[in-house]
Amino acid sequence: MKRWLWALPLGVALSSCNKEAGEGGRAEIRGRLLEKQVFVSGQIAVGPYALLDEKVHIVYGDGADGAFSDDDVDSGPNGEFRFPWLRKGTYTIYAIGDSYTAPSGKVAVSVTVTIDDRKSVVDIGDLIIDKIP
């Protein structure tokens, strides 16, 4: 009996290892960043079209602090972006666009997704932000 007592703490430690959302997995989130130019009247001037070299941000988990993104990438030539090597969990993807109504003149456009499978690829589709011409 005494020989197996060392296994009890090890078993408890291994069973409580529940990894949170973040890097270190094999899943991926991808999408495409688009922009449309909007006049103060709300009428679309141009777009939407692919946005090159613009920051797209990701927040791991519930993002309780809400102050900072956990990582970011630049959109590619066709507006494409991807966040590889993620674990199962909930993620919020967002980009910053212009706004006539927000006091700062900026607004975040976001999408929240959940990765359920450790090898899944989640395509969020088009993330469209407004730009003021």
**Chain segment 22-70, per-residue pLDDT in tens:** 888 999 999 999 999 988 877 788 889 999 999 999 999 876 556 688 9
Classify domain 21-131 at the CATH superfamily level. Immunoglobulins (2.60.40.10)
Q: Is the pLDDT of residue 2 over 60?
A: no
DSSP string, 103-120: TTSEEEEEEEEEE-STT-
Q: Is the pLDDT of residue 73 over 80?
A: yes
pTM: 0.81
Average pLDDT over residues 104-125: 94
Instruction: Please tell me whether residue 102 adopts helix, strand or coil conformation.
Output: coil
User: Using an 8 Å Cβ cutoff, are 97 and 130 in contact?
Assistant: yes
Give the distance, in angstroms, between the CA of residue 14 and the centroid of all CA atoms in the same chain: 29
For 41: left if phi > 0, alpha if psi spans -120 to 50, otherwise beta; the answer is alpha
Q: Is the pLDDT of residue 80 over 60?
A: yes
Q: Is the pLDDT of residue 98 over 90?
A: yes
Question: Which residues, 6+ apart, have CB-to-CB distance to 70 below 8 Å?
Answer: 22, 58, 59, 60
pLDDT number for residue 15: 44
Q: Which two tokens stand for residue 34?
A: 């688009």
Residue ranges of the domains in the chain? 21-131
Cα–Cα nearest to 85, from 58, 65, 124, 63? 58
Average pLDDT over residues 96-107: 93
